[in-house]
Amino acid sequence: MNTDWQSVSSSRRSDNPLYERAQSSSPRSTETPPEEQERAEQAEQSELQTEAAFADEQIQAVNADLNLEDIWQKTLHELALQMPATTFETWVRDTSIIGYKEGEFIVGAPHAWARDWLQSRLRNKIKGILSQLTGRSVQVSFEVRPQPQKRSESPGSAPLYADVPHAAPEATPETMSKPAQVSSTVAGSANPASRVQTNPQRRHDVAQTPAAAAVTKSDTALQGGVFNPRYTFDTFVVGNHNRLAHAAAQSIVEQPGHRFNPLFVYGGVGLGKTHLLHAIGHAMSRHGMQVLYCSSEQFTNDLISAIRQQNTEEYRSKYRQVDLLLIDDIQFIGGKESTQEEFFHTFNHLHAGGRQVVISSDRPPKEIATLEARLRSRFEGGLQADISQPDLETRVAILQSKAQSINQTISTDVLMLIAERVESNIRELEGALNRLIIQAPFHNRQLDRFVAESILDTLVPQRRPREAASVVRIVARHFHLTEETLLGRSRTKEVANARQMAMYLLREENGLSLINIGELLGGRDHSTVRHGVEKVAQDIERDEGVRREVVALREKIYEPPGS
């Protein structure tokens, strides 16, 4: 490694008091006789030369003691022992030592991200190692100093990371000063297996680009390559379970970046979150907006690739120069510090510029345990809209819409039967309909309720709730109570809520009469039971927490014993 020894030597001279005195010495008074002055100047010059030589010897001793290359290699070795291999490979291995000046080591980083990460994460550790190696107190600073040549690696030799181990730094002027042109190449969808290619000449491009896709007005004809062509607002069946999310989605299409930003849509698997995101993407791309849709996993993979390939400008431009960013399954960035750091700054950049952000998750922000507080705060600062399980009427409407889309005429009785049997999610609901249509011809008769029942008995076994006594036991355990407490006379809020939940489930799932429920729950009056059932039903409509409690308890009481 080439070290600027001249600058080091120069700085050492300036630090040396002998050298400083020699440099600042002024000429003798003009009143001294010329001969005496000349002799004095010669003597002083000789003395100064001696002192300067001594100062140089001191500097050379310091430089000899500080073999910078050797010291830095030892530092790297020590860091490699103390850090995870993936962290060292990503952030530290390509660093170098630039110089040593006035008690400060100057470390070169390959790019701005590495510089900022080292400054925030490793500065004290590196400072401590260097102080130990040199036997003196030192300071450390970091500068961007790209390697002259990039390491050559075969495509298969690079390590694969589950996530960048630590936080990526904030956007810097170096990385943001020259934004690259956002690519409008259609690149993929959340479900590559169902991707539709509408332009054969672009298939090669699609295969070569990341799964995230930037869409501009010119790509409208190619939306099948990005969004599922069936996932539009026209095919989105609206019910009580998703009305708020649907209304908010339409509102942001009309006025993006204003009222609901971000829009955070959450709900269980297969309930229509991705459908809604695709519908928003379809609508806004038709308005000429630049739209970027990807999963949180793709966001992470792109970040890792950008760091390893040192093309952070392109990465940031890709995600920040859009009108609409759609991120699916954001819960998977939980616990990934670097991904959360970069998404935090990406979100801030878009939000500050009035750009719309739409996020989906399987749970609300407060329930993503490993989500950073600052991200949770931003997600909760917009509109949170939940999509819950559809009710019976909505499930029938969904099945009717599905049947029409595939040109099938199916009686309402059959659709009602499917809707009664399949309650979990829309994906399973449509799957049951598809299997019914496929298998019906093998029964050599028209698809009626009898045929549908015989097919569904094998496809979707009818679930039955546990017996009433088991339901009481399950509710008590769920709320961390004993059965005696639940059946007793305690009127504390916790016990009363649990008791009313048991009343509701025994009524709705087991079909017991109000009188029978009252007798089972400690001899209570039927009017008390009616009040409890009605209260839980009302709470389900307005309280997401109660709704989730009911869903969880339903799953438990329908589980086979011993499961």
CATH of the domain at 509: 1.10.1750.10
CA–CA gap between residue 119 and residue 139 (Å, rounded):
12
* Confidence at residue 274, expressed as pLDDT on a 0 to 100 scale: 92
Q: Quote the tokens at residue 47.
A: 């003395």
pLDDT category of residue 51 using cuts at 50, 70 and 90: low
- Per cent of the chain over pLDDT 90 is 26
* Confidence at residue 465, expressed as pLDDT on a 0 to 100 scale: 61
CATH label of the domain that carries residue 358: 3.40.50.300
- List the beta bridge partners of residue 99: 106
Strands (E), 305-409: 324-328, 356-361, 383-387
Assign 101 to helix, strand or coil. Answer: strand
Q: Give whole-number Cα distances, 183 to 290, 339, 348, 434, 441, in Å.
A: 10, 22, 22, 38, 48
Please indicate, yes or no, if residue 185 is contained in any of the structural domains. Answer: no
> For residue 104, is pLDDT > 60?
yes
pLDDT category of residue 9 using cuts at 50, 70 and 90: very low
CA–CA gap between residue 259 and residue 544 (Å, rounded):
22
Q: pLDDT higher for 407 or 375?
A: 375
Closest CA to 386 of 552, 271, 282, 237: 271
* Confidence at residue 88, expressed as pLDDT on a 0 to 100 scale: 81
> For residue 458, is pLDDT > 50?
yes
Q: pLDDT higher for 529 or 57?
A: 529
Contact 202, 225 (CB under 8 A): yes
> Do the annotations mark residue 239 as ligand-binding?
no
Closest CA to 504 of 473, 538, 479: 538
* Confidence at residue 146, expressed as pLDDT on a 0 to 100 scale: 67
Please indicate, yes or no, if residue 168 is contained in any of the structural domains. Answer: no
- List the beta bridge partners of residue 144: 109
* Confidence at residue 148, expressed as pLDDT on a 0 to 100 scale: 53
How crowded is residue 23: how many other Cβ atoms within 10 Å of its Cβ? 12
Number of domains in the chain: 5
> Do the annotations mark residue 535 as ligand-binding?
no
Are both 103 and 15 inside the same structural domain? no
Are both 339 and 284 inside the same structural domain? yes
CATH label of the domain that carries residue 110: 3.30.300.180
CA–CA gap between residue 88 and residue 118 (Å, rounded):
11
Q: Give whole-number Cα distances, 46 to 41, 50, 52, in Å.
A: 8, 6, 10
Closest CA to 342 of 377, 302, 381, 388: 302
Are both 18 and 58 inside the same structural domain? yes
> Do the annotations mark residue 272 as ligand-binding?
yes
| Residue 122 DSSP one-character state | I
pLDDT category of residue 48 using cuts at 50, 70 and 90: low
Are both 481 and 438 inside the same structural domain? no
Q: Give whole-number Cα distances, 421 to 38, 73, 138, 487, 500, in Å.
A: 114, 67, 72, 32, 26
- List the beta bridge partners of residue 267: 387
Are both 478 and 350 inside the same structural domain? no
Are both 74 and 215 inside the same structural domain? no
Apex 241 CA angle, 240 and 247, nearest 5: 75
Q: Quote the tokens at residue 462.
A: 């009818």
Mean of all residue pLDDT scores within the chain: 76
CA–CA gap between residue 6 and residue 311 (Å, rounded):
34
pLDDT category of residue 69 using cuts at 50, 70 and 90: confident
Please indicate, yes or no, if residue 163 is contained in any of the structural domains. Answer: no
Please indicate, yes or no, if residue 387 is contained in any of the structural domains. Answer: no
Window from 64-73, 82-91, 143-152 with minimum mean pLDDT: 143-152
Please indicate, yes or no, if residue 184 is contained in any of the structural domains. Answer: no
Is there a cis peptide before residue 262, judged by omega within 30 degrees of 0?
yes
Query: Which H or E run includes 401?
Result: helix 392-405
Query: Which H or E run includes 291?
Result: strand 291-295
Collect all residues with Cβ–Cβ distance below 8 Å to 255 and sequence separation of at least 6. none
Are both 489 and 432 inside the same structural domain? no
How crowded is residue 197: how many other Cβ atoms within 10 Å of its Cβ? 14
Window from 268-277, 303-312, 357-366 with minimum mean pLDDT: 303-312
pLDDT category of residue 49 using cuts at 50, 70 and 90: low
Are both 236 and 358 inside the same structural domain? yes
> For residue 130, is pLDDT > 80?
yes
Window from 45-49, 98-102, 226-230 with minimum mean pLDDT: 45-49
CA trace torsion 517, 523, 527, 533 (10° rounding)? -40
Are both 426 and 505 inside the same structural domain? no
Contact 466, 494 (CB under 8 A): no
| Residue 172 burial (10 A CB sphere; 0-12, 13-18, 19+) | middle
Per-residue pLDDT tens digits for 223-274: 333 688 889 999 898 988 899 999 999 999 988 988 899 999 998 888 899 9
Assign 306 to helix, strand or coil. Answer: helix
CA–CA gap between residue 115 and residue 70 (Å, rounded):
21
Are both 291 and 335 inside the same structural domain? yes
Contact 126, 106 (CB under 8 A): no
> Do the annotations mark residue 270 as ligand-binding?
yes
pLDDT category of residue 560 using cuts at 50, 70 and 90: low
Amino acid code (one letter) for 135: G
Specify the length of the chain in residues: 563
| Residue 508 DSSP one-character state | H
Please indicate, yes or no, if residue 563 is contained in any of the structural domains. Answer: no
Strands (E), 119-260: 139-144, 213-215
Collect all residues with Cβ–Cβ distance below 8 Å to 422 and sequence separation of at least 6. 395, 428, 429, 432, 460
Closest CA to 325 of 365, 286, 354, 287: 354
* Residue 397 CA, distance from chain mean position: 34
Collect all residues with Cβ–Cβ distance below 8 Å to 64 and sequence separation of at least 6. none
> For residue 559, is pLDDT > 80?
no
Q: pLDDT higher for 16 or 347?
A: 347
Closest CA to 507 of 487, 533, 527: 533
Are both 241 and 341 inside the same structural domain? yes
Domain that holds residue 498: 468-558
Please indicate, yes or no, if residue 518 is contained in any of the structural domains. Answer: yes
Give the highest mean pLDDT range of 82-86, 199-203, 256-260, 323-327: 323-327
Are both 368 and 399 inside the same structural domain? no
* Confidence at residue 215, expressed as pLDDT on a 0 to 100 scale: 44
> For residue 165, is pLDDT > 60?
no
Which phi and psi (to 5°) does residue 528 adopt?
A: -65, -40
CATH label of the domain that carries residue 425: 1.10.8.60
Q: Quote the tokens at residue 172.
A: 């810097």
Please indicate, yes or no, if residue 172 is contained in any of the structural domains. Answer: no
| Residue 5 burial (10 A CB sphere; 0-12, 13-18, 19+) | middle
> For residue 150, is pLDDT > 50?
no
pLDDT category of residue 12 using cuts at 50, 70 and 90: very low
Collect all residues with Cβ–Cβ distance below 8 Å to 468 and sequence separation of at least 6. 506, 510, 512, 516, 520
* Residue 478 CA, distance from chain mean position: 31
- List the beta bridge partners of residue 456: none
Longest dimension (CA), the chain: 134
